[in-house]
Amino acid sequence: MSKRPSKTINLEGFEEVMRKLGDPRLSQQPMEELLTDASKIGQSAAIKAISGGTGIAERSINYKVFSRTMWARVYTMIARKRAMSIDRGRKPGDNPSIEEIASWYFSTPFRRHWDMSRDNRSKVVQIWQAIKEHGAKGKNFIPVAREEIEKELPRLQQRVIQRLEELAKRL
């Protein structure tokens, strides 16, 4: 299994501002805001990139900010294998089982909630056949989210540095 993607941020000019502040705890709130804002940007980009289908994947995208260790994570609650399949797509012949298609089609993994009428069975089989023959295009929601965060980081970092400098001037 591959290592999960991560990104470490080093704020340029941060050390100088911290010396002016004297107490690193004063930077806690602005840093939490940076992490929250960056996470929201990543979440929004991932949701936009993954949109379509039943909406389950969209609703599964979330984020968490860990204040004590100053890190954040944008993640999906769907299974890793499924998330990677959505992100990367499938090659022709690399098709999921009929049960996996039905689970996606009916927006639930529980068979008792599936309406397996003739029309619905036919649609599930058509989807399975299409993936078997043509594959499925990936949504690339993971790299899209990362790129969007990286694009916005300089602006977010500058805003934090400015807030900390203003705070240092008031001390």
In-domain check, residue 4: no
In-domain check, residue 151: yes
Q: What is the pLDDT of residues 120-145, one digit of tens each?
A: 889 889 989 999 999 989 999 999 99
Residue 2 — pLDDT band, cuts 50, 70, 90? very low
**pLDDT surpassing 70 at residue 7:** no
Say if residue 68 is in the same domain as residue 38: yes
- Considering the entire predicted model, what is its pTM? 0.78
Say if residue 48 is in the same domain as residue 117: no
Instruction: Please tell me the predicted confidence (pLDDT) of residue 119.
Output: 87
Instruction: Please tell me the predicted confidence (pLDDT) of residue 103.
Output: 80
Say if residue 44 is in the same domain as residue 122: no
Whether the Cβ atoms of residue 139 and residue 50 lie closer than 8 Å to each other: yes
Say if residue 47 is in the same domain as residue 107: no
Which structural domain range is residue 111 located in? 92-134
Say if residue 61 is in the same domain as residue 119: no
Q: What whole-number distance in Å separates Cα of residue 66 and Cα of residue 64?
A: 6
Number of domains in the chain: 2
